[in-house]
Homo-oligomer: A and B are copies of this chain.
Amino acid sequence: MSLIVVGTMAFDAIETPFGKSDRIIGGAATYIAWSASNFCRPIKQISVVGYDFPQEEMDQLTNRGVQLEGVQIKKDEKSFFWSGRYHMDMNTRDTLETQLNALATFEPVVPDSYQDCEFLMLGNLVPAVQLSVIDQLKNRPKLVVMDTMNFWMETALEDLKKVLKKVDVLMVNDSEARELSHEFSLVKAARKIMSMGPKFLIIKKGEHGALLFHEDQVFFAPALPLEDVFDPTGAGDTFAGGFIGHIAHTKDISFENMKTAIIIGSAMASFCVEKFGTERLKEIKKDDIDKRLIQFRELVNFDIELV
């Protein structure tokens, strides 16, 4: 199994109704790597950081089996920085500040040692960067998964549409699916988005779970009802990491196996929100994950006899 992960490695500063973080480690590729490395190693990371990104964080990733040859370090620039404030419902947030820094001029280079990867996870990032990575690969991976967000729909739609034509699975949240398709019904939105390229569509609904669409099939994965959601930052990336980690581990890209992968992604996301940043993801062990997967099974398992 070999998996390339593309995305940001960054600093975040987060405010929620329940607390406020300092400047902490974040970025889509960081969360994806921490999550996916529970299921699949090595992970071949592609990203960019500035001089201020701690070596200790890099070392922790290396110890997890995350290869960093594709991570550029810009000696004269700071790392990407985002700060935001969540609303009471924790599903919506305002961006307070964005400093692109090292990300502004990022041109990804796929190392030779990353070629012939079987799975590609394009974390949320400038569509042109996602496209560049796809184009640099000499052989098409078995499965290309793409995450994106409303920001790129509003500022780089044409590039985004080009990437869509080259991916197998797209992940967006419900409001993004509506924005991209101009359809309110998620069933209609899914059909329209799948006609734009991806054969599979995952619509993330936060505390309301996630939907997987493929042709005329649909699967629903619940979110675990949690006593407290402490910090939703990175939950979507962590979900993506669990999803692609399981797929890369099993090498099975069937709809049936994607159902399992979505449940695993949901379980991983439920850990992520329990503490600020990647803190909880760094603590959990296989046993914690197994216990939570059992909770998911109990959460939705039912019997119906049709008589």
Residue-wise interface mask of A (166-195) relative to B, using a CB-CB cutoff of 8 A (1 in contact, 0 not) = 000000000000000000111110000000
Interface status of A299 (Cβ within 8 A of chain B) = yes
Could you say how many copies of this chain the assembly holds?
Answer: 2
Complex interface: chain B residues within 8 A of A256 (CB): 303
Residue pair A220, B222 in contact (C-beta under 8 Å)? yes
10 other A-B residue contacts (CB within 8 Å) besides A222-B222, A264-B304: A185-B228, A186-B225, A187-B225, A219-B298, A221-B302, A259-B303, A263-B302, A293-B306, A296-B304, A297-B302
Q: List 8 A-B contacts (CB under 8 A).
A: A187-B225, A208-B208, A218-B299, A222-B300, A259-B301, A294-B306, A300-B300, A300-B302
Residues of A within 8 A of B (CB): 88, 184-188, 205, 208-209, 211, 217-222, 225-229, 256, 259-260, 263-264, 290, 293-294, 296-304, 306
Q: With both chains docked as a complex, state the minimum distance between the C-beta of A305 and any C-beta of chain B, in angstroms.
A: 8
State in angstroms the CA–CA spacing of A191 and B184 once bound together: 34
Q: A132 to chain B: closest CB distance in Å?
A: 35
In Å, the complex CA distance between A294 and B226 comes to: 29
